[in-house]
Structure 1
Amino acid sequence: MHRRAYLAAVGTAASTGLAGCSSALNVLGDDPCTGENCHIGMSRTEFLPEVYEVTVGDTVIWKNTSEADHTVTAYESRIPDGADYFATGDFDDQASAYDAWHDDRGGRLAPRETFEYTFEVPGTYEYYCIPHERAEMVGEIVVTE
């Protein structure tokens, strides 16, 4: 009888310990990009993290970590004066990126693909995913000196 009580106590302790590890893994799983392969990941309708801070001259790498197609498309009116426009598909402006997506999915970032951009002007850059804008898939890059 004491053996069963001992095994039950050990099993409960092990489960509790593993539950802690499991929740830690879930927290880490919320941010699919850490390290050099990418800085910002994507869920079905979110950029992860939504706000990312870098310094002038840093390159940011987005990776489509979901199973849906996405875009990274700057809001032309919400980037600093003097900054170059950026979007997957290398479009010159927001209207071109929007039209290309709606014509034939131009600028598409397929699952596991990456997009990178180097930020040369300090300020706040707001961007979105064209097919998921209505779901509020938006992000922000804050560039400091």
Structure 2
Amino acid sequence: MKKLLLTTALMLATTPAFAKEYTIKEVTDYNAEKQNFFSPDKLTIQPGDTVNFVNAQDEMHDVMFVNVPKGVNEMIMSPMMEKKGDKFSYTFNVPGTYQFHCHPHEALGMKGTIIVGKASKPGETKAVDHHEMGEMSETMEDHDHNSHEHGEHRH
């Protein structure tokens, strides 16, 4: 009996915490001071957690990550979401700071930051080359979006 209790206690102590899901809404509010924004625009999560980006209205939005930790070896971007309820999900496995924006509304300040685990230190992130985006998005269309080495996409 003691052996069973000890084994159970050890299993519970070494079992990782359950991954969580978070939602960031992509909002257009013509009555607000800032009309296009992510809500929340800053989020701190843990490795293995998933963030769902959800279009809150029938407006065109996307999610394009422009600065990511150096350990991320893939382009993270959503398709254009045009209808209320359209969703893009990504599971973050590499710790660090991720900066993103809505491409059509970037000039209007529609930007955000996700910190996975702890924030990246200077020099631990890399900018995403926008000139390669067209080529990479075509490659991603042919790619299996269900699981990746560093994250998981779900549409």
TM superposition score normalised by structure 1 = 0.58
The residue matched to 1:134 in structure 2 has which SS? helix
Aligned length: 90
Alignment partner for residue 62 of structure 1, among 53, 56, 63?
53
Aligned residue identity for 1:109 = M
1:42: Cα distance to partner?
Answer: 1.4
Give the Cα–Cα distance (whole angstroms) in 2 for the partners of residues 85 and 143 of structure 1: 17
* Aligned equivalent of 2:10: none
Letter in 2 for 1:108: M
State the Cα RMSD in Å: 1.7
4+ aligned runs moved over 6 Å, structure 1: none
Selected match of 1:124 from 84, 94, 97: 97
CA distance in 2, matches of 1:73, 1:64: 14
Runs of 5+ consecutive residues of structure 2 not aligned to the other structure: 1-19, 29-35, 119-155
Shift of 1:85: 2.5
Aligned equivalents of 1:128 and 1:47: distance in 2? 9
Question: Quick check: which one's helix share is greater?
Answer: 1
> Could you state the TM-score of these two structures normalised by the residue count of structure 2?
0.54
Residues 16-95 of structure 1: pairs in structure 2 closer than 5 A = 39-44=23-28, 45-75=36-66, 78-83=67-72, 84-88=74-78
Give the Cα–Cα distance (whole angstroms) in 1 for the partners of residues 92 and 75 of structure 2. Answer: 10
Could you say which structure has the higher strand fraction?
2
User: Which one has a bigger Cα radius of gyration?
Assistant: 1
